[in-house]
Amino acid sequence: MKNMWAPWRITYIQESSQENGCFLCNAFQENQDKKHLVIYRGKECFCILNRYPYNSGHLMITSNKHKADISDLTDEEMLEIMKLTRDMKETLMKIMKPEGFNIGINLGKPAGAGLVGHFHLHIVPRWGGDTNFMPVISDVKVIPQSLEDLHKEFKKYW
């Protein structure tokens, strides 16, 4: 087996293993948007870049409050989350020009949720041919743009 080295990822691995509590709550409460890659803060929800993206531009939209399930959200939270989902999808179209999107919610570990305790919605931009041999053969995903550069792009719009 061959190795592909990605030394910039070690920071994320070390930070995530040392993080106390919910990383989404920490990002919301600390008010350090650049550090936590927060793009937008609303009255009921906020949008953050995923530190471990499935693809370039992978966003998460979440409630400002620690709520585990979609059933726990108020009507106001649901409405703002869906409006922000629409608006962030449009912003991704302007910045990255994807050919499609996966927009979804994973509820519970069996459904693929990596963070079970804090409801969040994923927006993943997609392009034809964006899957290749690397993730299939080597379990490696190549992400062509740094999170910091992408955060700067989003801040032009938000």
Residues marked as binding?
50, 112-116, 122
CA 84 centroid distance within chain: 13
Residues within the annotated binding site for substrate?
Answer: 50, 112-116, 122
Catalytic residue among 36, 58, 118, 120: 120
Identify whether 36 is a catalytic site residue: no
Report the catalytic residues: 120
